[in-house]
Structure 1
Amino acid sequence: MNFSLITSGLAGALDPGYVVAVFLLSLRLSAVFLMTPVLYAFGVPAVARVLLVIGMAAALALGVPTEGLAVLFSASSTASLFVAAMTEVALGAMLALGILSAFAAISLAGRLIDIQIGFGMAQVYDPVSNRQVPVLTSAFDRLGVIAFFLINGHHALLRGIAFSLERFPLGRPWPLEATVPLVIKQVGGLFAMGFALAAPVVVCLLLVELALGVVARNLPQMNMFVIGIPLKIVVGLAALSLWFGGMGDSMSRIYGSIYKSWDATLSVPPVPAQGAR
């Protein structure tokens, strides 16, 4: 064991600039993980999440220049530290919005299918959103998280966070007003991606609705409520099972929107250093 390496690490940990860097970076990471179901989808304990965020912040802060952050550690710079903390939370929330929009699009696809099939009447507890949701919506939420880890999305997430430190250093303001068009674009794309994911199943169920309408018009004595619900369930689940094999391209486009949104966010020109105060 290299004693000099341990000594230098302890000296760096006691550096006021390093402490501020860990604090600000933990706020950025907390905002990213708090607004996305990456950690809490499968019941990760809160203590484990806090320790993970602090550990990641401590590791990433080792490569962050801390010369300009030491001044924020003094008592006279409390207001500047508060402004820097709020800036980090806002930036983390903006980065998290790209991930949240992708998972929300997958959840929207499940909700569209639930409503068309009739599963909207049956509610189950969803750990992702901590509320009661229909059956297929909960299944789509879990599917989205599993697929995210299968395509190594968490690795890309860590690389994006590291790159954000290069584009927007800790303690420096960033142009919040320039990201408003990006937010509008992401929210608008959410509905388009969600409908594209569920479109084949929704179209099949729409054809079933049209067929039931024609039958009800010509045979009014038939109870369409009793016949229609089981028929839509069978057709919907059959169409979903057939479409499940071809869902990969749509899922890839949804996850690709995360990297596009992050690239657009991190491409915003940062505020010059002299404008930080």
Structure 2
Amino acid sequence: MNALVSTLGAGWILAVLLLSARIAALLLMTPLLYAAALPLLVRVLMALGFACVIALPFAGTPAPAPHDFGVLLQALLHELAIGATLGLGVLMAFAGFALAGRLVDVQVGFGIAQVFDPATRTRVPVLSSVFGLFAAVFFFLVNGHHALLRGIAYSVERFPVGQPAPLAAAAEPIAREAAALFALGFALAAPIVLGLLLVDFALGVISRNLPQMNMLVLGVPVKIVAGLLALWAWAATFGAPAGRLYAAIYRTWTAWLATGAR
């Protein structure tokens, strides 16, 4: 163990430890790893592996050695705060998909039926769970995980490990992403929601002209069929609004990381 420490250097090992805390906090705030049933040990080893690989180019400038345990704990908490702030940007983008799923569930009538969602470990309506899993799959299909790793490396470049970072400067970019979250989430589900509103309007006209018909019995299957057909037609145009949701992650990161030391 002493030979390993002397070979790699205590500073580099400390940099890996602090960087793994940043990456672990980021992964904990995102639903990417929760979408698959990965054991806790595997997630911890992934965070340590990412930290080791990313810390290799920075081996020449290791983290400053702390003077005591209190300083080390403070640096560790600071790295956790940086990772959680980065993860919050990712989490809000996925929340846009959750918002779109809830809107569709309410319109179709699936809001009552709930299933277990492995991405969030909670019980959610049927289509909300589908939207969440589809968002995770689409994130990997567009190579979002590559951009995620590049963003982590860029955060190390802008905010060196063990150095203070302007956490308060992240408030404005995150607030802007949160404000755009509702607009982008509604834009994602807008074709389906507007289509089902037209179905509601048509059912209202029928109910007005044919009061002897039971609209509760007739309306539920009609809205389910119309909603599923709208989902099928909407799938072809899913990419553009989903891409804008993912682009919001990197706009938020870039606006915050640009405040780092040059």
* Paired position in structure 2 for 1:22: 16
- Match of 2:224? 233
Q: Which amino acid aligns with 1:228?
A: G
Q: Given the two structures, how large is their TM-score scaled by the length of structure 2?
A: 0.93
Distance 2:256 2:7 in 1: 31
Q: How big is the shift at 1:269?
A: 3.5
Could you tell me which residue of structure 2 aligns to residue 265 of structure 1? 256
Answer yes or no: is the 8 Å Cα contact 2:63–2:162 preserved in 1: yes
Q: Which amino acid aligns with 1:190?
A: L
Alpha-carbon offset, residue 108 of structure 1: 1.3
Shift of 1:12: 4.0
Unaligned residue ranges in structure 1 (runs of 5+): 1-7, 273-277
Q: Give how far 1:137 is off.
A: 0.9
Q: Tell me which of 123, 127, 130 is aligned to 1:132.
A: 123
**Is the 1:197–1:247 Cα contact (8 Å) retained in structure 2?**
yes
Secondary structure class of the residue paired with 2:237: coil
Provide the secondary structure at the position in 1 that maps to 2:68: helix
How far apart are residue 9 of structure 1 and its match? Answer: 7.5
Measured after TM superposition, the shift of residue 70 of structure 1 is 4.4
Please name the residue that 2:171 is paired with.
180
Give the structure 1 partner of residue 35 of structure 2: 41
User: Does the CA-based 8 Å contact 1:16-1:70 persist in structure 2?
Assistant: no
Range with greater deviation from structure 2 (114-123 or 98-107) = 98-107
Q: CA deviation at 1:218?
A: 3.1
Q: Where do 1:104-115 residues align within 5 Å?
A: 104-115=95-106
Kept in 2: contact 1:26–1:53 (CA 8 A): yes
Instruction: Please say which of residues 135-144 and 250-259 is displaced more in the overlay.
Output: 250-259
Deviations 1:122-147 (A, max 9, x none): 11111001011111111111111111
Tell me how far 1:32 sits from its aligned partner: 0.8
Worse overlay, 235-244 or 56-65: 56-65
SS of the counterpart of 2:171? helix
Q: 2 CA distance for matches of 1:232 and 1:171?
A: 56
Identity percentage of aligned residues: 49
- 8 Å contact from structure 1 (residues 21, 66) kept in 2: no
Segments of 4+ moved more than 6 angstroms? none
Inter-partner Cα distance in structure 2 for 1:35 and 1:191: 20
Q: TM-score, normalised by structure 1?
A: 0.88
* In 2: Cα distance, 1:12 partner to 1:260 partner: 40
